[in-house]
């Protein structure tokens, strides 16, 4: 970073995730950061956020913001469809970038972002905030220490019983790229891959269903959604295999007739022990006994705040990114392949 003072940050997208996660995260490290501008295609949204958050610069066009403001870093908080163009523009403008998950909609977009970050010599990292949870960090430490042995199978769960968002564009496939898989499933899938060391994907078999979301809502805890314009999947199930022989089963849903109202979890099995992320638990055989161990205490804190604080440290040259563009390409390949497999009705290479 050229300026050794505060990191000058701009926001591309000034809606819910910007106000709910990124801005509070930057405010938590306000001694290191100046929030200098925000841009949103809906100028009223940008103006409201700027007024409420005390951000001086307001733009309708992020291209104009990047041209006129002297920025060190940018948070990209747009709908998924616009991640890639916003990231590419910010990198070309010389900014470090924290992009919300998922990285993009297609694997080729993720590859283009990876190439652009390398060419620009700038940091590009992604909003996989569960990586910063104490449970996932503990699981990674156990894996790195060899305590799990060779992790070869697991289950990834990100399900809601009646959890279709009634706000934003979460039910719009054109803008989001999909439904629960690309919105919440991607979080737990990334957490699993992170602990596994992000193995190279081989093939996937995916199945999706849209059976309830496109029907008139009955009980809607988060408010009635526009079922007539619901174009994403309700449920996605997938088998993901990796070139090292490992495999993951994935289950994710916005709406399904299942027991839990919501569950976000990962269970991994290795040759020495197994691990469940939430609550953090270890399963192994020890001294002739089958043992379940659970953490008695773990540190707290807001995962979004940790994510943003870590990004700021990276920009300041005090840390290395936890989430990398190369990993983004892998997870985007898997997501794209799952949707392709579901559409084709057969297994596909990832």
The domain that contains 124 carries what CATH number? 3.40.50.720
Indicate whether 65 and 189 sit together in one domain.
no
- Can you tell me the mean pLDDT for 190-218? 97
Would you say residue 275 has pLDDT above 70?
yes
Is residue 2 in some structural domain?
Answer: no
Is residue 326 in some structural domain?
Answer: no
Q: Which two tokens stand for residue 246?
A: 């490992």
Would you say residue 47 has pLDDT above 50?
yes
Give the pLDDT confidence score for residue 5 in this predicted structure: 86
Distance of alpha carbon 7 from alpha carbon 294, whole angstroms: 40
- Which positions ≥6 away from 269 have C-beta within 8 Å? 151, 152, 153, 154
Indicate whether 95 and 244 sit together in one domain.
no
Please, what is the average pLDDT of the chain?
A: 97
Q: Which helix (H) or strand (E) holds 313?
A: helix 303-315
- Which positions ≥6 away from 2 have C-beta within 8 Å? 72
Indicate whether 137 and 284 sit together in one domain.
yes
- Can you tell me the mean pLDDT for 63-85? 98
Would you say residue 71 has pLDDT above 60?
yes
The domain that contains 158 carries what CATH number? 3.30.360.10
Indicate whether 174 and 210 sit together in one domain.
yes
- Can you tell me the mean pLDDT for 71-77? 98
Q: Which two tokens stand for residue 127?
A: 């909003």
Give the pLDDT confidence score for residue 113 in this predicted structure: 98
Domain of residue 230, residue span:
131-300+331-349
In 54-93, which ranges are continuous DSSP H helix?
A: 62-68, 83-92
Indicate whether 278 and 317 sit together in one domain.
no
- Can you tell me the mean pLDDT for 281-298? 96
Question: CA-based diameter of the chain, in Å?
Answer: 68
CA distances from 61 to 40, 47, 58, 64, 221 (A): 7, 13, 9, 5, 35
pLDDT tens, residue by residue, 125-183 = 999 999 999 999 999 999 999 999 999 999 999 999 999 999 999 999 999 999 999 99
pLDDT tens, residue by residue, 255-269 = 999 999 999 999 999
Indicate whether 95 and 146 sit together in one domain.
no
The percentage of residues in the chain with a pLDDT greater than 70, rounded to a whole number, is 99
Would you say residue 4 has pLDDT above 70?
no
Would you say residue 1 has pLDDT above 60?
no
Is residue 46 in some structural domain?
Answer: yes
Indicate whether 200 and 232 sit together in one domain.
yes
Indicate whether 111 and 254 sit together in one domain.
no
CA distances from 348 to 97, 210, 338 (A): 32, 21, 8
Is residue 1 in some structural domain?
Answer: no
Would you say residue 42 has pLDDT above 90?
yes
- Can you tell me the mean pLDDT for 2-11? 80
Give the pLDDT confidence score for residue 3 in this predicted structure: 43
310 touches 22 (CB < 8 A): no
Nearest Cα to Cα of residue 153 among 222, 101, 215, 199:
199
Task: Provide the domain count of the chain.
Answer: 2
Q: Which helix (H) or strand (E) holds 330?
A: helix 325-344
Indicate whether 69 and 154 sit together in one domain.
no
Q: Which two tokens stand for residue 264?
A: 């976000």
Give the pLDDT confidence score for residue 320 in this predicted structure: 97
Indicate whether 113 and 171 sit together in one domain.
no
pLDDT tens, residue by residue, 316-344 = 999 999 999 999 999 999 999 999 999 99
Indicate whether 167 and 246 sit together in one domain.
yes
Would you say residue 45 has pLDDT above 70?
yes
Is residue 87 in some structural domain?
Answer: yes
Give the pLDDT confidence score for residue 2 in this predicted structure: 36
279 touches 265 (CB < 8 A): no
- Which positions ≥6 away from 221 have C-beta within 8 Å? 162, 163
Q: Which two tokens stand for residue 285?
A: 């055989």
Find tokens 């010599």 and name the residue: 121
Indicate whether 91 and 140 sit together in one domain.
no
């Amino acid at each position: 970073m050229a300026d050794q003072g505060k990191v000058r940050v701009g926001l591309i997208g000034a809606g819910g995730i910007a106000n709910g996660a990124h801005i509070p995260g930057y405010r938590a490290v306000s001694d290191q950061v100046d929030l200098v501008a925000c841009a949103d295609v809906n100028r009223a949204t940008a103006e409201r956020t700027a007024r409420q958050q005390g951000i001086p610069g307001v733009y309708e066009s992020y291209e104009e913001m990047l041209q006129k403001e002297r920025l060190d870093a940018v948070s990209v908080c747009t709908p998924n469809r616009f991640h890639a163009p916003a990231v590419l523009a910010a990198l070309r403008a010389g900014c470090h970038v924290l992009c919300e998950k998922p990285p993009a909609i297609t694997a080729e977009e993720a590859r283009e972002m990876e190439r652009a970050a390398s060419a620009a010599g700038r940091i590009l990292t992604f909003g996989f905030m569960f990586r910063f949870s104490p449970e996932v960090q503990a699981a990674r430490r156990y894996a790195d220490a060899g305590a799990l042995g060779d992790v070869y199978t697991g289950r990834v769960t990100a399900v809601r019983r009646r959890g279709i968002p009634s706000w934003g564009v979460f039910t719009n496939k054109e803008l989001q790229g999909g439904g629960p898989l690309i919105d919440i499933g991607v979080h737990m899938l990334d957490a699993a891959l992170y602990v596994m060391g992000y193995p190279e994907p081989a093939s996937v078999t995916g199945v999706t269903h849209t059976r309830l979301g496109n029907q008139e809502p009955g009980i809607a805890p988060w408010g009635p959604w526009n079922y007539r314009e619901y174009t994403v999947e309700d449920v996605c199930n997938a088998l993901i295999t990796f070139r090292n022989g490992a495999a993951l089963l994935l289950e994710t849903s916005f709406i399904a007739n299942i027991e839990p109202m919501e569950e976000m979890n990962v269970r991994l099995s290795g040759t020495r022990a197994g691990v469940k992320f939430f609550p953090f638990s270890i399963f192994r055989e020890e001294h002739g006994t089958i043992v379940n161990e659970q953490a008695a205490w773990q540190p707290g804190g807001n995962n979004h705040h940790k994510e943003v604080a870590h990004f700021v440290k990276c920009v300041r040259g005090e840390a290395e990114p936890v989430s990398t563009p190369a990993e983004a390409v892998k997870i985007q390949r898997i997501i794209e392949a799952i949707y392709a497999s579901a559409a084709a009705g057969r297994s596909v290479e990832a």
